[in-house]
Amino acid sequence: MTAVMGRRRCARWMLLLLCCLLLTSPSHAGRRRPRPADSFVGAYGINYGRIANNLPSPDKVVELLRRSKIRNVKIYDEEPTVLEAFKGTGLNLVIAVNNGLLNSFAANDSVAIDWLNKYVQPYISQTRIVGITVGNEVLGGDPNLAAPLVGAVKNMYNGLKKLHLDDKIELFTPHSEAVFATSYPPSACVFKEEIMVYMKPLLDLFSRIGSPFYVNAYPFLAYLSDSGRIDINYALFQPNPGILDPNTSLHYDNMFDAQIDAAYAALQAAGYNNMEVRVAETGWASSGDQSEAGASVENARTYNYNLRKRLFLRKGTPLKPNIPVKAYIFALFNENLKNGDPTEKHYGLFNPDGRISYDIGYSGLLPSSAPASLLSVKEMRAWGWIARCSAAVILSIFLF
C-alpha cells in the first residue's frame, strides 16, 4: 500500500512539473538566436495604413486596438501624432522609412542618425517602438531603388548601433512574392538570380543581427491571378484536398502555409537555413470590380476568420512545425484614397467610423449590423491554452 501511494505521489509531481514546463515554455519556439527587444508578442499583428481622409484620430485607433486586444501594430511611416498616441499604451509599434526616402538614407549615413534622433529618441522611453522597416517590396519592384535599399538598411543599422538602440529595435525590409523565381511546389522556391546581388548583403546582415525574413503573403492575389486553376477553398483555409509537395512529401491544406514554406525553401537554397520567416502583410479584399475574382465580404470574412484561428494556435508550417507563424494582417481600415486596383481600398477589418467591416470576433468602436462570428474572442483566446495544455490534461486523466 505504501509503495502504491509513493508511486502516485511521484506521478503527481511529474504531472506538476510537466504542466509548469508547458505553461512557461516560450511561444517563439524554434528561434535560433536572441532578438533585439520583444518585437512581436504572440502571433497576431495588424497593419495600420492611413491613406484616407476619413479615419479616426490616432487616440481613437489606440482605443480600438486595446479593445480588440491587438498588441502588434505596424505603420508605413513615422507620423508623430501616432507615436504620441501610442505613449504609455504598451502596444508594440513598428515604424517605417518609406521608399521615397531610400536614396537620401543611402547617400549619407547622417540622415539615418538625424531621423532616429527626430522620430525615435524622443518617444522610445514611453512608446514601445520595437521595429523599423526600411523600404517596402523594393526588390522585384523598382530596380532603381535596389542598390539604395541596401545602403539605407546598412546606414540605419549603423545609426541604431551608434545610438545604442540595436538591442532594442528590430530592423527589416518586407519583400513581395516577386523576389521568387518560382514558388510551386514550395520546396522548389528560389530567389530570382538577378536580385541576389542585392538580396545577399541584406540577408547577410539580417542573419548576423538576428532579424527575420519578412514576406508579404497574399493567397488572395495568387487566386486573383489564376482563379481558373486554384481552388478557392485552398486559399481560404476551407476543407479541400490540398497539395502534396513531391520533393518533401509534405502535405499542404492551405496556400498561406505553402507560401511561407516557399520562402523558407528559398532561404535554405541561398544558404540561410536558420532565418525565421514572418509575414509582414496578408489579407483579403472585401470588394472590387468584376474582373477581380474572389473579392467579396464573404470571402474576406472567411479568410481573416480562419487565418485568425490558425495564428491563435501558434503552430508552425509543415516544413517548420516548431516555429510558430507570426503575421501582420492587412489592414486595420479600409483606405479610400489608395491608388491602384479597386480592391486596394477594401482590405480593412474596420470601417473608417470604427465599425467592423465584417465579424471575425472583434467589436468596433460603434455597434455593427455585420453577421455574428461563429467563434467568440474568448473562445479563440482559449485555443492557445488548450493547445499548450492538452498534453498535461491527457496525462492527468491517465494518471488519476
Catalytic residues: 137, 281
**Is beta strand 44-47 parallel, antiparallel or unpaired with respect to 327-329?**
parallel
The neighbouring-strand residues paired with 134 are 97
CA triplet 196, 150, 194: central angle to 5 degrees?
20
CB 43 within 8 A of CB 27: yes
CB 278 within 8 A of CB 326: yes
CA triplet 171, 28, 68: central angle to 5 degrees?
80
Q: Grid cell 505603420 — which residue?
A: 75
Q: How far is CA 306 from CA 26, 200, 236, in A?
A: 24, 35, 7
Residues 6+ positions from 66 with CB-CB distance below 8 Å: 89, 91
Q: How far is CA 180 from CA 19, 184, 226, 376, in A?
A: 42, 10, 17, 38
DSSP 120-142: TTTTTTTS-EEEEEE-SS-TTS-
Start-to-end CA distance of the chain, whole Å, equals 16
Give the C-alpha separation, 358 to 384, whole Å. Answer: 23
